[in-house]
Amino acid sequence: MPAAANPNARRRNARIGPVDLPAHGRRGKAPAWPLSEAKDEATGLRETALWAALWATPQAVAWERMRSEREVAMYVRWSIKAESLDRDAASEARQLADRLGLNPKALRTLMWNIPGDEVAEQRNSREQGGTAAKGTTRSRRIRAVDGVDTA
C-alpha cells in the first residue's frame, strides 16, 4: 500500500496564481524600444504602432512587472515579419504570443484573469438601450406567486 501524501510537502513546480490584470489595460507611455531600429521606415512605423498598442493591453501590466520588454519587442518584430507570410516568422510569433499571454489559451495557462469592467459594461448597456436604460429592475421582473395550484 502506498504511503499517504505528506500534507506539508511543497510542490517543486508550484505556481503562482491566479493573477487579475486590470481590464482597462496598462496606463502610460510604452517603454523605450529595446532592439535595433528596423531596416526600412515602413516596417519601423508598423513596429512602433504595434509596440504602443501592446503596451496598452492588460497583459502589459504583467510584462512590466517581469521586465519583459525584449520579449515583447521580439514578438513585435516576428509578428510584423509574419505578415509577409513568412512561415518561420509566423511560428516564432505564435510561440511568443503564447509566452506573453496574447491569446485565451495562454491566459489560462499563465493563470492571468482579465475581469470584466462592470462599470463600463453598464454604461455601454445604457447607451445601447439595454435593460438598465429601460428602467427594468430586478424587483420589477420578479412576480409573487401564491402557491395555490390553479390547474
pLDDT digits (tens, 9 = 90+) for 23-44: 999 999 999 999 999 889 999 9
Does 99 fall in a domain?
A: yes
Residue 81 covered by a domain: yes
Least confident of 1-10, 19-28, 43-52, 70-79: 1-10
Select the more confidently predicted residue: 123 or 46.
Answer: 46
Would you say residue 119 lies in a domain? no
Among 17-26, 50-59, 83-92, the least confident range: 17-26
What is residue 149's three-state secondary structure? coil
Instruction: Write out the residue range of the structural domain in which residue 66 sits.
Output: 39-114
Mean pLDDT of the chain: 84
Tell me if 74 is assigned to some domain: yes
92 within a domain of the structure (yes/no): yes
Q: Output the CA angle 98-102-107, nearest 5 degrees.
A: 75
Residue 94 lies in a domain: yes
Structural domains of the chain, count: 1
Flag whether 73 is in a domain. Answer: yes
Best CA proximity match to 121, nearest among 113, 111, 112, 131? 131
